[in-house]
Structure formats: C-alpha cells, structure tokens
Amino acid sequence: MADGQTDSVQAKHLYTPIIIQSAVYATGTYYLTQIWYADHQRVPFHFYNDNAGWLQVDKVAHVFVSYHVNDISFRIFRSYNYSKKHSLIYSGITTTVFQTTIEVLDGIYEGYGFSWGDMIANTAGIAVFTAQQALWNDQRIILKFSYSRDPIADIKPGFENNNQVTRIFTDYNGQTYWASLNLKMFFKQSNVPKWLSFAFGYGANGMLKEFENPSHLPYHEKYRQFYLSPDIDLVALFHTRKKGVKFLLRFFNTFKFPMPAVEINKFGTTFHWLYF
C-alpha cells in the first residue's frame, strides 16, 4: 500500500471512536430536547441548588453514571489503539461534554436548573475511574447499582402513572449505590478467590419530595442507609476472550449481585439474608 493510502487508513482508524461517540452524543441530545424535555417550557438559563435534595442519593447517582460513561468511552478509545494516556484524556473530555450538556439543558427548561452539585458529582465519577486506571491500570473498585421496590413509592406524588421500569430510575427510596472492592486485586498474594468482592452501599428512605415531605401525606421520616455486603465480580468469575460475552459480563457487572447484607441507619442495625 502506498504511503498516502496507509496514512488515510490510519487517520480513519483514529477518527472512528470520535465519530462513534459524536453520533451517540447527537442522538442523546436529540432525545433530551425532543422527548425528555417535551412537556417542559423553555425558560431563560437559570441555576438550581439541589444539594440538600433526596439526601444526596441523586448526587451519588451522578457519580455512578459519569464513572460508567467514562469507562465505556475509555474502552472505545483503547479498542482503536489509542494509548492509555490519550484514552484517559479523551474519555475524560467526552464524558465531561456529555454530562455538561445535560446540565446546560436542565438550565433552560422549566422544572430543572443547572446544578453545580451535579457538576461536582459528575467530575467525581470521572476522577474515580481515571485515578484507578492511571494508578493500577485496572478498576479495583467498581461502582454498582441495585434497586428494590419500596412501598412508599405508591404514595409518592407524581408516581401514579409511572411504570415499573420508570420507577427504577426515579424512585430514590429504592436505589442503592455500591463501591465494590475486588479483594484479590488488593491482596494479590492471598488465597482469596479472584471473583470475591466486598461492597459498601449507600441509600436513603422515607423521601416523598426532594426537600421536605408534604404535610398532607402520611408521615415518613427521612433517613440514610449504609450497607456492608459481599459481592461477586462477574468479569473475574467468567474470564473469557470473547468480546461479545465480555461486553455482557461488564454490563451485568454494573449491578450489585444479590447477597446477604448488613444495613446501618439511625434506628440501628438490620441484617438482610438477601439484599439487592
């Protein structure tokens, strides 16, 4: 192949991940403007301080989403032979652009607002991924998610018409976010199984509104929940070289495996035989 043709192929190869992520970005932005915000009026750009809302469960959700968006973006760049350094830089930039766009759109629609708290949480998610990849060249601590439907959702305002899938994303009472530590990666000389992890979880309950619960509804006290539980690293358990299988394993590995758990809250300590 002539030098000019070789350069052309290499350039196309390098631009491919940027084209892929640009297409995803354009599609996501179109969805937000045409569907997600469809029932909301455009208003002048404004800020919204929601740092005290939902006992910060939504902020942890932003950390979780940014972490995994950064992970996906990084792996796309690496799959096209970008160096580790450049993959970390470009994935951090693309994730920041994705998340910032959402915040800017929030800032121009009624019922939402640009939140600096969300921006800080987004940055934290990017930092959690980038720091581990730079330091260990791996993710020893994986951020995970679990959901258990809470009966309080039945009386939560605005939930009357929500289906079960929608509730997973909007019912903060049922969400738990985990930091799952792969024990073998931290104790390489031990006999600990490669797939065994230990997870620290955070959630909250009793929340009927973002800040203060409505007085006309049955009384529920808001409280934070902290969890300790073993976990399973599916990627380490089912080691494979098949890309399709590995992709599925990575996807399911974003969810906390149902296991026994200890819950600690303001009322005391509770043991769950099986918690998800």
Write the DSSP assignment of 142-179 as a string of letters: EEEEEE---GGGGGSTT-TT--HHHHHHH-TTTEEEEE
- In the chain, the amino acid numbered 261 is A
Six token digits for residue 33: 């403007």
**Which pLDDT band holds residue 4 (cuts at 50, 70, 90)?**
very low
Taking residues 35-55, report their average pLDDT. 90
pLDDT at 261: 97
pLDDT at 5: 42
Q: Which of 131, 127, 130, 100 is nearest to 116 (CA)?
A: 100
pLDDT at 116: 96
pLDDT at 234: 95
232, 263 Cβ separation under 8 angstroms: no
